[in-house]
């Protein structure tokens, strides 16, 4: 969150994790993360040009940059695995491949920003 420009207090982090962690295992898995991002996206939409929609896209771009470690404009399997690991989610090679395949609209094996936006429901 701090890498996205947010600086929540420990209490705020605890409250957010409790709200998002549906299975109450103490970690936020990828599905829970996507649900949170989708919910936040829906809450921020205004339906008009400018304003919250542009702000929302900028926030989504910042989230994308957290995943896109090398800055090449795509999220690779390695980058996805690293971010998920930093979130405490240790996924198998197969699970990482499945996640990429679900979001990878053009079949190049990576997720670009357009695919990331679509995956997030925008």
How far from 58 is each of 20, 55, 90, 102, CA to CA, in Å? 22, 5, 28, 23
Mean pLDDT (whole number) for 49-62: 70
Summarize pLDDT for 69-83 with one digit per residue, the tens. Answer: 999 999 999 999 998
Q: Are 78 and 67 in contact (CB under 8 A)?
A: no
- Three-state secondary-structure class, residue 69: coil
Q: Where are the domains of the chain?
A: 2-119
CATH architecture of 2-119: Orthogonal Bundle (1.10)
What is the rounded distance in angstroms from the CA atom of residue 73 to the CA atom of residue 70?
8
67, two tokens: 């995943």
What does the chain come to in residues?
122
- What does pTM read for this prediction? 0.60
């Amino acid at each position: 969150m701090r890498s996205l420009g947010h600086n929540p207090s420990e209490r705020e982090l605890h409250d957010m994790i409790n709200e998002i962690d549906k299975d109450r295992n103490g970690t936020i898995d990828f599905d829970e993360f996507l649900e949170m991002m989708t919910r936040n996206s829906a809450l921020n939409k205004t339906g008009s040009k400018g304003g919250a929609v542009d702000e929302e896209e900028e926030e989504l771009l910042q989230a994308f940059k957290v995943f896109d470690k090398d800055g090449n404009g795509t999220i690779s399997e390695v980058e996805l695995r690293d971010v998920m690991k930093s979130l405490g989610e240790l996924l198998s090679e197969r699970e990482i491949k499945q996640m990429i395949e679900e979001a990878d609209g053009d079949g190049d094996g990576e997720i670009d920003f357009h695919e990331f936006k679509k995956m997030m429901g925008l």
